[in-house]
Amino acid sequence: MEIALLIILAVVAVVVIGVILIYNGLVQRRLRIDEAFAQIEVQLKRRYDLIPNLVSAVKGYLEFEQDTLTRVTEARANAIAAGARGPAEQAAAENMLTGALRSLFAVVENYPTLKANENVLSLQEQLTTTENQISFARQHYNATVRDYNTAIATFPAVLIAGMLGFLKREFFDAPDEVEQVPAVDLSLRT
Amino acid sequence: MSTFYQQQSANRRNSFLLAFLVVALLAALGASIGYVLTADPTGALVVTAGAVVFGAILSAGSYFSGDRLVLAASGARPVDEASAPQLTNVVRELSIAAGIPMPKLYLIDDSAPNAFATGRDPEHASVAVTSGLLEKLDREELQGVIAHELSHVRNYDIRFTLLVGVLVGSIALLADMYLRVSFWSAVGRRGSRGGGRSEGAGLGAIMAVVAIVLAILAPIIGRLVQMAVSRQREYLADASAVELTRNPYGLERALAVIASDQEVLEVANRATQHLYFTNPIKKFEKRASGLFSTHPPIVDRVNRLRELTSRPPLGSEEIAGLSGLD
Check residue B188 and give its pLDDT.
60
- Which chain A residue lies closest to B92 (C-alpha atoms)? A133
Is residue B192's pLDDT more than 70? no
Q: Residues B103, B228, B10, CA angle at the centre, nearest 5°?
A: 75
The predicted model gives B232-256 an average pLDDT of 92
| Neighboring chain B residues of A144 at a CB cutoff of 8 Å | 99
| Neighboring chain B residues of A146 at a CB cutoff of 8 Å | none
What residues contact B109, with CB distance under 8 A and at least 6 apart?
A: B75, B77, B130, B131
Is residue B163's pLDDT more than 90? no
The predicted model gives A99-110 an average pLDDT of 80
| Neighboring chain A residues of B244 at a CB cutoff of 8 Å | 136
Taking the alpha carbons of B228, B233, B239, B241 in that order, is the dihedral positive or negative? negative
What is the percent of chain A with per-residue pLDDT over 70, rounded to a whole number? 89
Give the distance from residue A1's alpha carbon to the nearest chain B alpha carbon, in angstroms: 35
The A residues from 157 to 176 touching B (CB cutoff 8 Å) are none
The predicted model gives A155-171 an average pLDDT of 87
Check residue B254 and give its pLDDT.
93
What is the percent of chain B with per-residue pLDDT over 90, rounded to a whole number? 25
pLDDT band at B162 (very low <50, low <70, confident <90, very high): confident
| Neighboring chain B residues of A39 at a CB cutoff of 8 Å | 96
> Strands across the sheet with B126-130, in order?
B76-78, B104-108, B126-130, B115-118
Q: From CA B200, how far away is CA B205, in angstroms rounded? A: 8
Q: What is the ipTM of this complex?
A: 0.72
* Structural contact between residues B98 and B244, judged by C-beta atoms closer than 8 angstroms: yes
What is the percent of chain A with per-residue pLDDT over 90, rounded to a whole number? 20
Q: What is chain B's mean pLDDT, rounded? A: 83
Check residue B283 and give its pLDDT.
60
Asked whether the beta carbons of residue A140 and residue B86 sit closer than 8 angstroms, the reply is no
Query: Got the DSSP string for A125-155?
Result: HHHHHHHHHHHHHHHHHHHHHHHHHHHHHST
Give the distance from residue A140's alpha carbon to the nearest chain B alpha carbon, in angstroms: 5
Q: Which residue has the higher pLDDT, B313 or B269?
A: B313
| Neighboring chain A residues of B86 at a CB cutoff of 8 Å | 125
pLDDT band at B292 (very low <50, low <70, confident <90, very high): confident
Out of B96, B98, B139, whose CB is closest to A133?
B96
Is residue B60's pLDDT more than 90? no
Check residue B201 and give its pLDDT.
63
From the list B135, B140, B141, B149, the catalytic residue is B149
The pLDDT tens digits for B77-105 are 999 888 899 999 999 999 999 999 999 99
Out of A39, A136, A144, whose CB is closest to B93?
A136
Check residue A49 and give its pLDDT.
82
Instruction: Give pTM, 2 decimals.
Output: 0.81
Check residue B211 and give its pLDDT.
83
| Neighboring chain A residues of B90 at a CB cutoff of 8 Å | 129
Check residue B144 and give its pLDDT.
95
Lowest mean pLDDT among A135-144, B152-161, B203-212: B203-212
Question: Is A128 touching B (CB cutoff 8 A)?
Answer: yes
pLDDT band at B132 (very low <50, low <70, confident <90, very high): very high
The pLDDT tens digits for B7-55 are 888 888 988 888 888 888 888 888 888 777 776 667 777 877 887 888 7
Q: Which residue has the higher pLDDT, B171 or A118?
A: B171
Asked whether the beta carbons of residue B139 and residue A128 sit closer than 8 angstroms, the reply is yes
Check residue B54 and give its pLDDT.
80
Angle of the B157-189 helix axis to the B4-38 helix axis, nearest 10 = 20
- Which chain A residue lies closest to B143 (C-alpha atoms)? A132
Known catalytic residue: B149? yes
Q: Which residue has the higher pLDDT, B198 or B152?
A: B152
Question: Is A105 touching B (CB cutoff 8 A)?
Answer: no
Which H, E and C letters describe A54-105, residue by residue? HHHHHHCCCHHHHHHHHHHHHHHHHHHHHHHHCHHHHHHHHHHHHHHHHHHH
Cα–Cα distance list, B71 to B87, B110, B153, B159 (Å): 18, 14, 15, 17
Q: What is chain A's mean pLDDT, rounded? A: 81
Give the distance from residue B184's alpha carbon to the nearest chain A alpha carbon, in angstroms: 53
Q: Which residue has the higher pLDDT, A39 or B36?
A: A39
Tell me the one-letter amino acid at A67.
D
Q: Which residue has the higher pLDDT, B142 or B205?
A: B142
* Structural contact between residues B97 and A136, judged by C-beta atoms closer than 8 angstroms: yes
Is residue A178's pLDDT more than 70? no
The predicted model gives A116-136 an average pLDDT of 81
Give the distance from residue B89's alpha carbon to the nearest chain A alpha carbon, in angstroms: 6
* Structural contact between residues B222 and B172, judged by C-beta atoms closer than 8 angstroms: yes
User: What are the phi and psi torsion angles at B291 (to 5°)?
Assistant: -75, -15
- Which chain A residue lies closest to B87 (C-alpha atoms)? A129
The pLDDT tens digits for B64-75 are 777 787 888 888
Asked whether the beta carbons of residue A129 and residue B97 sit closer than 8 angstroms, the reply is no
Q: Which of B81, B86, B96, B150 to probe the A interface (max A CBs under 10 A)?
A: B96
Is residue A166's pLDDT more than 70? yes
Asked whether the beta carbons of residue A140 and residue B139 sit closer than 8 angstroms, the reply is no
Lowest mean pLDDT among A1-15, A174-188, B214-228: A174-188
* Structural contact between residues A160 and A22, judged by C-beta atoms closer than 8 angstroms: yes
Q: Which of A136, A142, A148, A172 to probe the B interface (max B CBs under 10 A)?
A: A136
Q: From CA B100, how far away is CA B94, in angstroms rounded? A: 9
Which domains, ranges and CATH numbers included, belong to chain A? 13-179 (1.20.1440.20)
The A residues from 33 to 92 touching B (CB cutoff 8 Å) are 36, 39, 43
pLDDT band at B282 (very low <50, low <70, confident <90, very high): low
Question: Is A119 touching B (CB cutoff 8 A)?
Answer: no
Cα–Cα distance list, A65 to A103, A113, A115, B98 (Å): 11, 15, 15, 39
* CA distance from start to end of chain B: 28
Out of B86, B92, B246, whose CB is closest to A133?
B92
Check residue B92 and give its pLDDT.
93
Give the distance from residue A129's alpha carbon to the nearest chain B alpha carbon, in angstroms: 6
Is residue A3's pLDDT more than 80? yes
Q: From CA B221, how far away is CA B164, in angstroms rounded? A: 13
* Structural contact between residues B142 and B90, judged by C-beta atoms closer than 8 angstroms: yes
User: How many CB pairs below 8 A link A and B?
Assistant: 35
Lowest mean pLDDT among A97-101, A162-166, B47-51: B47-51
